[in-house]
Structure formats: C-alpha cells, structure tokens
Amino acid sequence: MKEDRILILYANYGEGHKSAARAIEAKIQRDIPEATIIVSDFLGDAFPVSDWIMRKLYLQTFTWAKPIYRQLYYKTKDNRVNSQLFTLPSTLSCLKLERYLKQIKPTIVISTFPTLTGMLSVVKDRGKIDFDLYCVLTDYVTHSQWLYHSVDRYFVPTEGIRNDLVRRGIPASSIQIASIPVMPKFEANRDRSFLREKWGLTNEAFVVLISAGAFGVVNIKEACVNLIRECPSLQFVVVCGRNDKLYNQLKTLPEITPVPFTNEMHELMQLSDLFVTKAGGLSVSEAITCELPMLLYKSLPGQETENVKYLIRQRIAKRVKSTKELSKAVLEILETKGLIGEMRENIRNLRERNERLPQLTESIKKDIRRKNKEVDLIRLREKRLYEI
C-alpha cells in the first residue's frame, strides 16, 4: 500500500503561518497517527538569502510604509482568481518546489501561506506530480493572492468567506468552513489559580495580558505606563516577542510582568481576564479558544483591520486606536457591570459553533481513502491487462 505522506508548507512572515502549520501537524498526529507528516518553511530553506531580505522588508513595511501596504492590499484584494500579478512570480520560482515535491512524493500538500499556495498551484497545473492541494486561510478575510482554481480544498473560518469564494468562481464543493487551527494546548482546561501562582500573580486582581507581537513590532511602552497610571489596581503581563529593547525597558517597571518570546502563550491566555493585542488571525483564534475577551490595539492595515471588523461584529472584542483610548476602554470594561461576562459568553457561543464544524482531519481521512482506492483500481487494471 502507498505510504500516506502529508506535507505542510508555511512561511516565516510573522508567527501566525508557522503556528497554523504546527497546529495542523499536531491535529493530524492525534487523529491520523499512521500518516507521515513533513512540515517545512520551504521559502526559507530553498531561497535563504532572498527570503531573509523579503522578511526584513515585510516587517519594515509596518513601521514606515503602512499607507503603501494598505493601498496595495485593497487595490489587489478583489483581483480575479489566478491573478497574473501573483501567478507570474510563482511560475519563476516553482522549479525548485517541483523538484522538492518529486523527492517527498506527498499524497496531500497543505499551504498556510498565500505565496506558497500560488507556487503549488503552478506546479499542480504543470501536471507532472499528482497531489491534492489544501489551502488553509489564517485570517477572517480572503484576498485574491490566496485564490487559484487548482486548489482542491479550501478551509475558511466563516460562512461569509465561503460565499465570497463562491461568488468569485471557486466551486462550493471545494470549500469547507473550519475554525482557524490552533495548538491543542490552547484547548486544555488549566487551573487558573495554579497558573497565576506559577507566573507570580495574585488571584484577587484583574489580569490584563498585552502582546507586542512575535517580533515586537508594536512598541507599547507608552501605553503600559499610561495603563499603570490610570488603572493602578490591575496586574499587567506584557509579552515582548523578540523585542529585547522593549523587554529591558519594561523590566524597570515593578507593576508589570514582562515576558520575552515564549512558547507558553496558552498559559498566559488561560490565566488572564483581558487580552490587548493587534488582530493577527492566529493570536485572536487562540484567544477565542481560551475564551478571552480582547481589546484590539494598533492592528496593521489590510488583513488585521478586516479581522477587527469580524471580531467586533461577533461582540467579542473592542477596537482602540490610541494610548488614551486604551486606558479608557480597559476602565469601561471594568466599570460596566456584566460587560466582560457578556463578551465571554459571546466567545463561548462562537466556540460551540466552531466545534460543531467538520474538522480538517476528517477531510484528510476521506481524501486519503479516495486516493488509495484510485491507486488500487489502477493496480487492478494493470494486473488484468498483464494477465491478458
């Protein structure tokens, strides 16, 4: 019998795409233990220099060129499926990917990054390698850079995105609504008192968790100082990502527990009462899993701004645009009777709806069975022809 190989490709542009890939890996290992899983940052491995340059430029875009990024994002958002703007660069770089796939021989390839989805669609269209192509959207909005006719199955987080894809010409039968994948550890029910003691926090005071993003793009020292002044009775935990400068600055403030880049974000979310974050698709999905209400602060233009709109419509988050607004919003949540409980209840309802959705691993099992049947039929025909 053919070995079932599942290849998961991500790109290291922010932590979200990688986190989604690792979450998919963990769920497949749990639900399909017999499958062979390979997870790869293909762009970083195959094109290390150019990928490093592009990642640096990408991060710099959000510090000095936000208006340019916003304009480009919305100008290309509704391009047609298989837009030449995205397929041409994919065509120029797909030969290495084609050689890599010939070496791996995957049954299914799962992409969590739009550029890789484009490259994989080009390879698939060339017809030299047989594999099923899955695309997992990692935000609560779609963009034309994700959309290709040769994708066999799209996994999207909302009915609205599904309808948008159908409107653009993607077959409804190839689209499945499924929650954005998060690591199983975010789903665990941990004892809050134990976690607070572990992190040096008290059970009595309200805990506000603040994230600067994996790369510390959002410098929030001013916001933290203002929050300490306006809300002195609260406890603040600030995750600084890889921003060592911010971490060292916050260590001088005794009212704050600063945390460098960590793999224990699930514990910090599970012990907290409120989450201040920009609206990255994976971060907010992890918070939803932990039933943690959110204040969305300094979200980036484009996909994060669209995520904000979705979360506000679900009444599980509020948006703040400035340091002054942030302190005011925290106080409003504290002083408005029942507001934090209402937000938690809305998140709980959303979680329950998501848990009733078909899971990505169910589709993988079905497609593996279908592929194996096809292989068995081909072998049976070949055997009969040989006997004749």
Same domain, 203 and 129: no
Whole-angstrom distance, CA of residue 356 vs CA of residue 247 = 40
Q: What's the domain count of the chain?
A: 2
Could you report the per-residue pLDDT of 1-49, keeping only the tens digit for each? Answer: 456 899 999 998 877 899 999 999 999 999 999 889 999 999 999 889 9
Of 125, 154, 181, which residue sits at a domain end? 181
Residue 65 domain flag: yes
Residue 366 domain flag: no
Residue 42 domain flag: yes
Residue 32 domain flag: yes
Residue 367 domain flag: no
Same domain, 121 and 263: no
Residue 263 domain flag: yes
Instruction: Give the residue numbers spanning the domain of 266.
Output: 185-353
Same domain, 99 and 133: yes
Residue 380 domain flag: no
Give the model's pLDDT for residue 66: 77
Same domain, 96 and 194: no
For residue 150, the domain's CATH number is: 3.40.50.2000
Residue 359 domain flag: no
Same domain, 223 and 161: no
Of 143, 165, 181, which residue sits at a domain end? 181
Which portions of the chain are predicted below pLDDT 50? 1, 215-216
Whole-angstrom distance, CA of residue 110 vs CA of residue 115 = 13
Same domain, 346 and 261: yes
Same domain, 127 and 190: no
Indicate the pTM of the whole model.
Answer: 0.88
Same domain, 177 and 215: no
Could you report the per-residue pLDDT of 102-128, keeping only the tens digit for each? Answer: 999 999 999 999 999 999 999 999 888
Give the model's pLDDT for residue 1: 44
Same domain, 74 and 222: no
Of 122, 150, 181, which residue sits at a domain end? 181
Same domain, 199 and 306: yes
Give the model's pLDDT for residue 215: 45
Same domain, 82 and 164: yes
Same domain, 326 and 189: yes
Our CA angle for 313, 319, 320, nearest 5°, is 170
